[in-house]
Structure 1
Amino acid sequence: MFRKTKHRTTIFILIGLLLTLVFLHIMPVFDSFSLSVRFILEFGVVIIAILVAFLKQNETQIALNESEIKLEAVVEKVNYLAYHDELTGSFNRNYLLKCLEENMKKREITSESYALVSVNLNRFKNVNDSLGNEMGDLFLKTIAERLKEFSNNNVILARMVADEFMFFMPGKENLEELIHTANKIHKRIEEPMIAKGFKFHITSSMGISIFNENIEETNQLIKQAQLAMHEAKKNGQAVLVYHPDMNKELLENLFLENDLRQALDRKELILHYQPQVNIETGEIIGVEALIRWNHHKKGMIQPGKFIPLAEETGLIIPIGNWVIIEACSQLKKWNEMGITNLRLSVNLSLRQLYQEDLVETVARTLQLTKIKPEHLELEITESMAGNTERVISILQSLKKLGVRISVDDFGTGYSSLSYLYSFPIDQLKIDRSFITNLFTEENNKVIVSTIISMGQNLGLELIAEGVETSEQIEFLRPYKCVGVQGFLISRPLPAEEFQELLTEKTTLLERYSS
């Protein structure tokens, strides 16, 4: 196109030069020099106007041609995105629905069956929240490439939403074969990924649904695969096959979610308190606030049942804020009773840690309740150590308020231990799994003693969780693990019962003094 334009311009210039020569040749015809000049100028203006008109027309044609090319590119991209995921290059939900509809029509002619395998990345949102969207996108691309290894001309991989993919497998109805394939996919996803110096293990939950005569529409089969996947996630399993009984449980969870949204207004959420004692003196040195849900119909619901639901729906933010305010208000009451040396521990979820107004919420609560900042201890978990710079910034802001920071469930995370040197933490809590299996798995003794030694060398306080036997106490005592917490000392108690325990601390002193 550019070459044609250049040639046309050259031709116009040559024509202009030719006409100029003609004018110069006929100049003697005129009676006067001024008249001849005037004629040339006037005629020249006409020629220039014609040339400009031709050039403008040509430029307009060029612009139109360029617009057509751009439009073609846009149309091409729109057509691509209609059936593809832009980030991973995989097919998208629209393409999957198209394939399912085509195969449902084929079923009227053939009896060929097909299956769906729903793949969800466990706790991927934590990766996204802690490391940022850029790293999250990189993880998704890596996972997508691994999943594409299991797709071909017949087996189609589609990305449904952020962290969910789905395989369409025509001609597949052998359940054992499908489960075997799903387990292979699960293992491939589980292979570690390294980013920013951290090694991450992403696990997955998968659900399988197979077409049957009761399927009336494509979305029905998709929902069945997704339901089986959610059941697998909830039960901590890699793969589950859809069963009609799952619909009943799904309905129950929907009702439970609706009730949880109203639990705060109904004042159904309550706090129980579990003491932490000094292993040498038996004195109560702290207390952990643990949430419970006293449902108006179902009675007491344990955290393991509703906390994951709160995390998934985002309700953990208002619930978590309520816990901080309620626990600090209770500590204020105990302070007013003369119990002034008690330390209060409150758990933070990952979503809470990254909420924009966390520091303001804590500061406002401290101001409102007038408790000493050093008597409030906020517990995070190792899994929150992903985005080191961001976490350090948040924790430092909290530390400026004067509160303490504790790492809960220590020893179970996949993170690098380097964060212990950079995080402004005061305490490590040894995970209960190590204490529970202290005498059943020999390695746990080594792990526990190593954690205690490491914590002491870093100048950190230590508390062992899940202490249930006197033998566990006797093992911990020589290592000078100052704090212990567990059912041997006391189960979590309502505020009134815990208050009674505070007045009877001499009983604990006699029981655990050396």
Structure 2
Amino acid sequence: MLDSNNTMPEIIHHDGSEEAEKLLMDIIYALDKSAIVAITDRRGKITYVNELFTEISQYTAEELIGSDHRIINSNYHPRNFFKTMWATIGRGKIWRGEICNRRVDGSFYWVDTTIVPSLNEKGRPYQYISIRYDVTERKESERIIQNLACKDQLTGLPNRSSFRELVKREVEFANESNTKLGFVYFDIDRLRYVNDSLGNEAGDYILSMVSNRLKENLQDDHVYGRLSGDEFALLLKNIRGAEHAEQLTKEIQQFLEEPIEVMGQLYTLSFSLGIALYPEHAQKPSELAMKAEKALSNARAKGGGKFEMYEHGTAAKTLERILLENELRKSISLGHFNLDYQPKVDLKTGDLMGVEALVRWNHPDLGRIPPDKFIPVAEETKLILPLGEWIIHEACKQARKWQDADFAPVRIAINISAIQLKEPGIVEAIKRILVETGVTSERIEIELTESAFADRSGMQDVIQEIRDLGITIAIDDFGTGYSTFSYIKELPADTLKIDRAFIGDIHENEESRAIVKAILAVAGTVGLRVIAEGIECEEQAAILHEYGCEEGQGYFYSRPTTPDKCVSFMKRVYE
């Protein structure tokens, strides 16, 4: 056992002393009771196992000693996995990783493993000591999250992230087999009118029926999923060309538009569909989806109820898109934006824990334009860079005002996109704004989507630099992407925000409850604070509190509001 100076503690220097011997025995006892321990010789033969090893593997010590670790091999890992492990420890280096093993009864268990080589005087390993910790429960929670989060909760279809992975695999296969694909992007025309007149339940019923019709008519012949709202996509496999893709799309449109009974009345829906072909129009899955969406926009522009094939040249911006970009550019320079703030509260005490800054665009002629309309345009055109810096500066100014007013420390969360994060100088810009506004860094939190953490070699370094300023980092919309808990513990983050998609029906949907429980369980093991967003009723708040969620935000507590009204909320909470 080494101290901070990489030397043995002074007490160990007194060879043979009772004190040193007792310390070593205490260390061995503690390790033996808390970890799964095994020692092997340089050829991998097991020479020692502790009691926890025999308990979890269900083998006796006699059965294990003299064997090698293949006795508990689950065949889960590829051969190269262990080849890499042996290459590492064979060079005298420590190896760390997670291994799936098999018990005597055939069941699997997972262990977080560290293998430490013991070196002789020539620096060569003569034995290996492995320290393992049982992480089976954590891996099971991760499996539940991955299985449930890959499908759309309402329809049971693959969601956007899952569908994207399916398309990626099919494109790779089509490339190898020299076959063609058709990407069809479609939505339901004017579904919002059904929601407005009959309610959201009727709209949900229609979405479920669309899903059922896809399953019944397409089965496993093609790949399909629900991307968001009333938007669906499907991938036509093994098509012969454009005419074949159009024929299949027309057949799909026909069965989708068959009359549907809603609340005792027959409705005939219409659908707009856009088609793009692989490899004719695009070779990359993302470009294929984008071009199918462009074709869908053209179909919508013609009044709906139509399908359009992508044509080279249709990628040019539509008039609406051009106008929106131009107005956005002008509004940034003219200051047509403001920030609203939505409180975050302690689910147990009701205390105010912080607020999230949300940008609002108040156009003098067009009125209030929703963020989901202009943020994608801002990101695509990189106008998010000047707009994003203004948001950071404005939020920090507000934080300083509340700091000077001597309110209890209220942390303001600011959303930053992956595009901003990739911009050189983002850390220096944040540092400069902190100095200019005079706000202390502990009053600021940065919210990033899961995708910002995906590039471990690039953006994670930038995220850590921001964190080093004293600013906390939150993973926003968690559960909608593919973060796995095998590396969540490595992320430079402090807080995890459960996406509203899992909160909205937590009081009536068992799958949503299972996802939330699993997220909370695993987040606890890696020390992440958890916030639930989108809480709209007391029942949801009560369930989340019961499950151990610490903080929440949503309309149940407060809608996004002005700084002045936010102050009123603060005063009400602390009176």
Common fold by TM > 0.5: yes
RMSD: 4.1
Using the TM superposition, give the Cα deviation of residue 374 of structure 1 relative to its aligned residue in structure 2, in angstroms.
Answer: 1.6
Task: Give the alignment partner of residue 347 of structure 2, picking from 275, 279, 298.
Answer: 279
Using the TM superposition, give the Cα deviation of residue 479 of structure 1 relative to its aligned residue in structure 2, in angstroms.
Answer: 2.3
Give the whole-Å Cα distance in 1 for the aligned partners of 2:536 and 2:175: 47
Residue pair 2:485, 2:522 contacting (<8 A) in 1 also = no
Give the whole-Å Cα distance in 1 for the aligned partners of 2:323 and 2:338: 20
Q: Which residue of 2 aligns with 1:461?
A: 529
Give the whole-Å Cα distance in 1 for the aligned partners of 2:278 and 2:523: 35
In the TM superposition, 1:177-192 aligns within 5 A as 177=249
One-letter identity of the residue aligned with 2:319? L
Residue pair 1:201, 1:414 contacting (<8 A) in 2 also = no
Residue pair 1:271, 1:290 contacting (<8 A) in 2 also = yes
Residue pair 1:464, 1:483 contacting (<8 A) in 2 also = yes
Residue pair 2:274, 2:296 contacting (<8 A) in 1 also = no
Task: Give the alignment partner of residue 368 of structure 2, picking from 293, 300, 322.
Answer: 300
Name stretches of at least 5 consecutive residues in structure 1 with no aligned partner: 1-121, 128-137, 152-166, 190-199, 209-225, 508-514
- 1:317-337 deviation per Cα after TM superposition (whole angstroms, max 9, x unaligned): 111111101100011111111
Higher helix share: 1
Task: Give the alignment partner of residue 150 of structure 1, picking from 177, 180, 196.
Answer: 180
- 1:227-271 deviation per Cα after TM superposition (whole angstroms, max 9, x unaligned): 42456899xx9x95279xx99x93222111100001112111111
Using the TM superposition, give the Cα deviation of residue 280 of structure 1 relative to its aligned residue in structure 2, in angstroms.
Answer: 1.3
In the TM superposition, 1:237-276 aligns within 5 A as 240-241=307-308, 250-276=318-344
Using the TM superposition, give the Cα deviation of residue 456 of structure 1 relative to its aligned residue in structure 2, in angstroms.
Answer: 1.6
Counterpart secondary structure, 1:493: coil
Moved more, 271-280 or 376-385: 376-385
* TM superposition score normalised by structure 1: 0.56
In the TM superposition, 1:491-502 aligns within 5 A as 491-502=559-570
Task: Give the alignment partner of residue 295 of structure 2, picking from 222, 228, 231.
Answer: 228
Residue pair 1:348, 1:378 contacting (<8 A) in 2 also = yes
Matched, 1:313 2:381: yes
Q: Which residue of 2 aligns with 1:435?
A: 503
Identity within the alignment, %: 34
- 1:29-76 deviation per Cα after TM superposition (whole angstroms, max 9, x unaligned): xxxxxxxxxxxxxxxxxxxxxxxxxxxxxxxxxxxxxxxxxxxxxxxx
- 1:453-487 deviation per Cα after TM superposition (whole angstroms, max 9, x unaligned): 21122111111000001001110112221111000
Q: Which residue of 1 aligns with 2:549?
A: 481
Give the whole-Å Cα distance in 1 for the aligned partners of 2:335 and 2:497: 31
Give the whole-Å Cα distance in 1 for the aligned partners of 2:562 and 2:180: 53
Residue pair 1:207, 1:230 contacting (<8 A) in 2 also = no
One-letter identity of the residue aligned with 1:205? A
Give the whole-Å Cα distance in 2 for the aligned partners of 1:407 and 1:233: 35
Q: Which residue of 1 aligns with 2:18?
A: none
Matched, 1:373 2:477: no
Q: Which residue of 2 aligns with 1:205?
A: 289
The structure with more radius of gyration: 1
Using the TM superposition, give the Cα deviation of residue 442 of structure 1 relative to its aligned residue in structure 2, in angstroms.
Answer: 0.9
Give the whole-Å Cα distance in 1 for the aligned partners of 2:514 and 2:417: 29
Counterpart secondary structure, 2:555: coil
Using the TM superposition, give the Cα deviation of residue 148 of structure 1 relative to its aligned residue in structure 2, in angstroms.
Answer: 5.0
Residue pair 2:341, 2:355 contacting (<8 A) in 1 also = yes
Using the TM superposition, give the Cα deviation of residue 173 of structure 1 relative to its aligned residue in structure 2, in angstroms.
Answer: 9.4
Give the whole-Å Cα distance in 2 for the aligned partners of 1:295 and 1:258: 12
Using the TM superposition, give the Cα deviation of residue 272 of structure 1 relative to its aligned residue in structure 2, in angstroms.
Answer: 0.6
Higher relative CO (Cα under 8 Å, sequence separation at least 6) belongs to: 1
Using the TM superposition, give the Cα deviation of residue 360 of structure 1 relative to its aligned residue in structure 2, in angstroms.
Answer: 0.5
Q: Which residue of 2 aligns with 1:161?
A: none
Higher strand share: 2
Residue pair 2:502, 2:512 contacting (<8 A) in 1 also = yes
Give the whole-Å Cα distance in 1 for the aligned partners of 2:465 and 2:173: 35
Using the TM superposition, give the Cα deviation of residue 314 of structure 1 relative to its aligned residue in structure 2, in angstroms.
Answer: 1.0
Counterpart secondary structure, 2:361: strand
Give the whole-Å Cα distance in 2 for the aligned partners of 1:256 and 1:183: 24
Task: Give the alignment partner of residue 404 of structure 2, picking from 306, 313, 336.
Answer: 336
Using the TM superposition, give the Cα deviation of residue 205 of structure 1 relative to its aligned residue in structure 2, in angstroms.
Answer: 2.8
Residue pair 2:274, 2:299 contacting (<8 A) in 1 also = no
Counterpart secondary structure, 1:504: helix
Counterpart secondary structure, 2:489: helix
Using the TM superposition, give the Cα deviation of residue 178 of structure 1 relative to its aligned residue in structure 2, in angstroms.
Answer: 6.4
Matched, 1:289 2:357: yes
* Number of residue pairs matched by the alignment: 327
One-letter identity of the residue aligned with 1:310? A
Q: Which residue of 2 aligns with 1:420?
A: 488
Give the whole-Å Cα distance in 1 for the aligned partners of 2:336 and 2:549: 37
Change (3 A) 1:147 1:358: farther
Change (3 A) 1:251 1:364: same
Moved more, 335-344 or 324-333: 335-344
Give the whole-Å Cα distance in 2 for the aligned partners of 1:458 and 1:473: 23
One-letter identity of the residue aligned with 1:482? E
Counterpart secondary structure, 2:356: strand
Give the whole-Å Cα distance in 1 for the aligned partners of 2:490 and 2:346: 27
One-letter identity of the residue aligned with 1:256? L
Give the whole-Å Cα distance in 2 for the aligned partners of 1:231 and 1:283: 50
Q: Which residue of 2 aligns with 1:354?
A: 422
